[in-house]
Amino acid sequence: MNKKTVEIRFAGYGGQGIIRSGIIVGRAGAIYDDKFTTMNQAFGPEARGGACSSQLLVSDDKILYPYVAKSDILICMAQEAYEKFEPELKNDGLLLYDLDLVNLKNKRGKVKLYSIPSTRFAEELGQKIIANVVMMGFFTAITEVISVDAMKKSIPESVPSRFVELNLNAFDKGYNYGKNLVK
């Protein structure tokens, strides 16, 4: 995407690492890609299992308004998230979603769709909890909003040291899957 400011929303349910995804991608952009980023989060009172999202803006210039008005990119990892946030996606936006957890109801406008079985891939790697990292790799490959190098530097700073290798493998799985789709 060649826009000055990109509005991104990661959405799912508590426990999927949705908030952490926004933090990792935001850190990668701000620290390693020399971009301006801002991140906000929202979650229900249930926290784990309740709807949640993180809003991330990535820009080449200073960000004056730190909230997503209409998403350029929507990443959905749960059906409830799709139903709640899909109407806020721009008509020419990009929707990335977990193939096994989100059932699309209808395609509207010129929305571009890409899916990945991120939860299934995470389970194959041995930990369902890293599905968000698989999705971040996929997001990186499809959008190129944040560089691969920046993401690979940000992930180790954001997870416990004993899980760094697993998370980098999850990122690579999603990234490679995405790169094969956009060849």
For residue 112, list its beta bridge partners. Answer: 94
Given a cut of 60, whether residue 46 has pLDDT beyond it is no
**10-31 pLDDT per residue, tens:** 999 988 999 999 999 999 999 9
Provide the sign of the torsion angle of the four alpha carbons 37, 42, 48, 50, taken in this order: negative
What residues contact 162, with CB distance under 8 A and at least 6 apart? none
**pTM of the predicted model, to two decimals?**
0.93
Domains of the chain (ranges, CATH numbers): 5-181 (3.40.920.10)
**92-107 pLDDT per residue, tens:** 999 999 999 999 987 7
Gap between the Cα atoms of 174 and 49, Å rounded: 23
pLDDT given for residue 3 in this prediction: 57
